[in-house]
């Protein structure tokens, strides 16, 4: 018997019907500001009772909301949040690109942009420094957040409960002898990151590499990305760490300002 992901004879994969209906309904809100139960049933080709159960289930999760007067359903806060997060990820890369280039030229080191992915961070863009001896582009690389400056800059924006969900055990995976090996030590270092406004990593993710990173916040004050200067460890002492941190924080603030303007422009145009 074929699995739920196996192709049918005609080439169309088997689908989980309820999930297919939910995804089609979410997509329908691109063309329909609101939908009644009967309209939803006709759109999906199901009975009104099935459409009603689907809508109430999605309402409980915040993906749709119901107008108490018209009884029609529209996109809910959870769906809007997903869309906004996607837009922010796209925009932060676009806005940050020239600042990565400028910071790489200023510091003569490789500069990367990272975004959170649970207990890891992924580098979505990178500009190599001009020196012959330099760190190669990090674009596409995903690393444990607690082993990188970019990751620690992002983890510093989370509360204790969120951190415990990401790190449910007291011991942490170590990639090098210098990696943070316990949750208690990570929590202590994150307190320092919050006070300083930047994070560092000295050969914690890979021997021979060091980095300094500053977080980038959205309009709501949430950390959504980090700007990291990645250098050969032999070139990073205390004095240079402070200079790189100052440069990274300055560029991060400029990215925040431009990102805020870009995201706020549609609302200003609508007069909201």
Instruction: pLDDT tens for the chain, 272 residues: list them.
Output: 334 444 444 444 555 677 778 778 877 877 777 889 998 888 888 899 988 998 888 888 888 888 888 889 888 777 765 655 554 555 788 889 999 999 999 999 999 999 998 899 999 999 998 888 788 888 888 999 999 999 999 999 999 999 999 999 999 999 999 999 999 999 999 999 999 999 999 999 999 999 999 999 987 788 999 999 999 999 999 999 999 999 999 999 999 998 876 555 444 444 44
Half-sphere exposure of 167 (CA within 13 A, CB side): 22
For residue 105, give the DSSP letter.
H
Contact 174, 162 (CB under 8 A): no
114: which 2 tokens?
């990272």
- DSSP per residue, 222-270: -EEEEEEEEEEGGG--HHHHHHHHHHHHHHHHHHHHHHHHHHHHHHHHH
Contact 104, 90 (CB under 8 A): no
Domain 17-75 and domain 81-267 have a common topology: no
67: which 2 tokens?
């107008």
**81-267 has which CATH code?**
3.30.450.40
The secondary element (H helix, E strand) that includes residue 58 is: helix 48-60
61-66: long-range contacts, CB 8 A cutoff, minimum separation 24: 63/26, 64/25
Q: Where are the domains of the chain?
A: 17-75, 81-267
pTM: 0.66
Q: How far apart are CA 127 and CA 93, in angstroms?
A: 12
Instruction: Give the chain's largest Cα–Cα span.
Output: 69
For 17-75, the fitting CATH number among 1.10.10.10, 3.40.50.300, 3.30.70.260, 3.40.50.1370 is: 1.10.10.10
Q: How far apart are CA 142 and CA 122, in angstroms?
A: 4
Q: How far apart are CA 123 and CA 173, in angstroms?
A: 20
Q: How far apart are CA 53 and CA 40, in angstroms?
A: 11
């Amino acid at each position: 018997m074929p699995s739920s992901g196996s192709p049918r004879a005609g080439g169309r994969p088997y689908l989980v019907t309820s999930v297919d209906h939910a995804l089609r309904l979410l997509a329908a809100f691109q063309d329909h500001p609101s939908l009644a139960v009967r309209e939803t049933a006709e759109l999906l080709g199901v009975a009104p009772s099935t459409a009603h159960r689907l809508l109430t289930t999605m309402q409980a999760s915040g993906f749709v909301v119901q107008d108490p007067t018209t009884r029609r359903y529209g996109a809910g806060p959870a769906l809007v949040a997903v869309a906004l997060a996607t837009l922010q990820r796209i925009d932060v890369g676009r806005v940050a690109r020239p600042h990565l280039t400028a910071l790489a030229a200023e510091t003569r080191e490789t500069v990367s942009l990272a975004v959170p992915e649970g207990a890891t961070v992924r580098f979505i863009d990178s500009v190599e420094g001009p020196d012959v001896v330099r760190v190669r582009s990090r674009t596409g690389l995903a690393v444990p957040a607690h082993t990188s400056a970019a990751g620690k800059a992002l983890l510093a924006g989370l509360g204790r409960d969120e951190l415990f969900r990401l790190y449910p055990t007291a011991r942490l995976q170590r990639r090098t002898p210098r990696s943070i090996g316990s949750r208690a030590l990570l929590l202590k270092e994150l307190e320092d990151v919050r006070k300083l406004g930047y994070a560092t990593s000295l050969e914690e993710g890979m021997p021979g590499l060091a980095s300094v990173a500053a977080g980038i916040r959205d309009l709501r004050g949430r950390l959504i990305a980090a700007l990291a200067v990645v250098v050969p460890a032999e070139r990073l002492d205390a004095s240079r760490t402070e200079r790189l941190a100052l440069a990274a924080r300055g560029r991060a603030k400029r990215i925040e300002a431009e990102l805020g303007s870009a995201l706020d422009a549609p609302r200003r145009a609508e007069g909201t």
